[in-house]
Chain A
Amino acid sequence: MKKILLLIFTISLSTVFSLNTFAVETSTSEVVTKNTELSAETGSESVSESEVTNDTTAAKTEISATEKSAALVMYADGNIVIDGYFDDWADKPKVELTYDGNDGERQGNISAYRDDEKIYLYAQVRINSLDQYDGSGFRLSAGGKTIDFQAKVPGWEPVKTGNKYDLDIRDNSWNLLGNGRLSMQEGSNELEFTISISSLLAKGFTDEDLKNLEFSNYSYGKGSISLAGTSTYPAILICFGIIIAGFAVSKFGKGAGKK
């Protein structure tokens, strides 16, 4: 009988973990659903594509803030604001990008961060001439899956050095994954953008996949940045604890507490 109860105890704890995960997943899926509804509503008002993007982004931010208070916080906040000012990346680790050759000349650098809802990416890349920008060649690998995407300036007008632009992050099927800002500077371009976790989940990635990420950009240079979690898988250890403590109480419990 006691062994059965020990089993129930173990199952109860596993259930708690499942409920926790479920709560987070439900929260995420609700955000996706609400975003979809909002996108549909905004789209029906016949406004321009960039306005739709901005409205959807604003709605996402608003909903995210609301949902975040109810969901379990799993990652530290990186305090990154996608505004075209890159001071919030100054204290984040960066990886140098180099030419794919033996000289190893620095081409730029790349940095990445993630929190509960978004993945953030920063890139600074050298350019050889004015008004030059290439937002293609990004690749995200996670859990044995990859997705190629690009950071494109909406519209078809040519970009100019000295200006800042909004960015749409789109996969090869032109689905919107996120948004960002580009700063065109003399000698280099700097860009920062986010990709929503929910958009990657919709692309077939799982929460488990997205615990270990790798970003690269073959257009910008050789090198990649990896983000990895080191979970202890606490459920396993707790099971050990239950068995040991449960056994001890079961075996020696009769005299327990008596001194």
Chain B
Amino acid sequence: MYVLKKISLCIFTMFVISIFLFIMLNLIPTDPVISKLGIERINENPRLAQKVYEEFELDKPVIKRYVNWAKKVFLDFDFGKSFTYDDYDVSYLIFSRLKYTLILSLYSFLLTVLLGITFGILIAKFDKTIIGNILNIFTQFGLSLPNFWVAILLLSFFGIKLKMASTHVEIIENDIIKTLKSFTLPVLTLVIGQTAIVSRYLKVALLDEKNKYYVMVAKSKGLTDSELMKKHILKNALMPVITIMGLIFISTLTGSIVIENVFSIPGIGTLLINAIKNSDYPLIQGIVFYYSFIVVFSSFILDIMYMIIDPRIRS
């Protein structure tokens, strides 16, 4: 019952988002045909402009356009054709870019989880010692450095000075190692900031748990520090950190626009930026809808996870 309720809420949310999305885009006072054809061409060839208006139903009322669009989206998962890319559907464009965003997200998320948890445990363990303070300073740096600046710094240092890493990413068919190598710098840029966030959250949560009565009881029963950490403290402290990691994953999966732009990664973020520049409404609608779906779906998964971990939520 709880799951069904959540699913219906998700569908309703997506429906409301679709209405808002369509109305808001249509409020923007720009003419997408100008972006597509250019002024000179419209002046010289008004027939061509008229044809584009008809092709994309821009000459029809907004409500009629919404109904046609929503029908296609919810029934056939068809977001229509892009204004900019004459020969491709919006769905195809999104999926063709998704592989870059997925590699970037998964690769950086995996490293963030590994490094974030490790550093979090270390900082908590060495709290109020010199090592702890040094690690704290590092995480502080990670939090405060803007990632576009880190990206430029890494590109200049590893790309130009040392010539150790490639300044662009590419997906090479049948060669996962080379592909991952080309993603090194953007991933590193993301990991620096994300690791700092995760480790600091984990540190606070761990220190909080350490001072709880059940830990003292367990300790008095003779459990060692490492046993306590493994069996009790870490498990409980991870709960709030999972939420943060979930949010980090969502943000990279919906496209790290700045990172994609700096490293010229043809992911979802750059696709959205170009769609906005070109007033490509079908594409903007498709991408924002994709973003919304990722957020709504991830929240749904997190809710289910909480429900499994803490069955009290169900009631």
Q: Real complex partners, A and B?
A: no
The residues of B with any CB-CB pair to A shorter than 8 Å are none
